[in-house]
Amino acid sequence: MPDLLLAYSTTDGHTRHICERIAEVARAQGCAARVMPLAQCRAEDVAAAARFVIGASIRYGKHQPEVAQFVNAHQALIDARPNAFFSVNVVARKPGKDRPDGNPYLQKWLRTVRWKPQRLEVFAGRIDFPALRWGDRTMIRFIMWMTRGPTDPTAVVEFTDWRRVEAFARELAGRGALARAA
């Protein structure tokens, strides 16, 4: 039985990477942590975990539909244990939008589900222009141009503040309110 189950929904793999880092830090704190794709997560997995966290990426302003579907289907089970949700998006690279209450995509998503996570977090993501398909690369470059972000089609730009990720991990592992509720 994991102390902490991290389920992720990712578009390009960065949210999985963040979950793996959270698990690594949590394990160093003595917390048994498991990471798995949300698409493979079942009710039994949530029921077996002492604490449950979902990490989800944004693409074109939206989380994947599977995220809302999962929380709506399993809300009672999720609410029965300490829980958290974090969103990964590039708009979080900007001051004010790097916090749950100031991130428009997270706030919009929260209005679409009944679940009220006990802990929310937002992390800035990563853009790997060379790995994107032509259409996505073109659209994201245009969005970045409009928002004064990077547009070099050969660039890989990581905006993630890993210290914040690690602080969140320590909280989940036992040094914060979420862990005390376990």
pLDDT tens column, 167-178: 999 999 985 556
Percent of the chain with pLDDT over 70: 95
Query: Tell me, what's the pLDDT at 61?
Result: 83
Architecture in CATH of 4-125+161-180 = 3-Layer(aba) Sandwich (3.40)
Query: Tell me, what's the pLDDT at 1?
Result: 53
Q: Is 10 exposed, middle or buried (0-12, 13-18, 19+ CB in 10 A)?
A: buried
pLDDT tens column, 119-157: 999 999 999 999 999 999 999 999 889 989 899 999 999
Q: Which of 19, 40, 23 is nearest to 31 (CA)?
A: 23
CA distance 45 to 74: 11
Any idea where the domains of the chain sit in the sequence? 4-125+161-180, 127-159
CA distance 130 to 156: 7
**132 — alpha (psi -120 to 50), left (phi > 0) or beta?**
beta
How many CB atoms within 10 Å of residue 69? 12
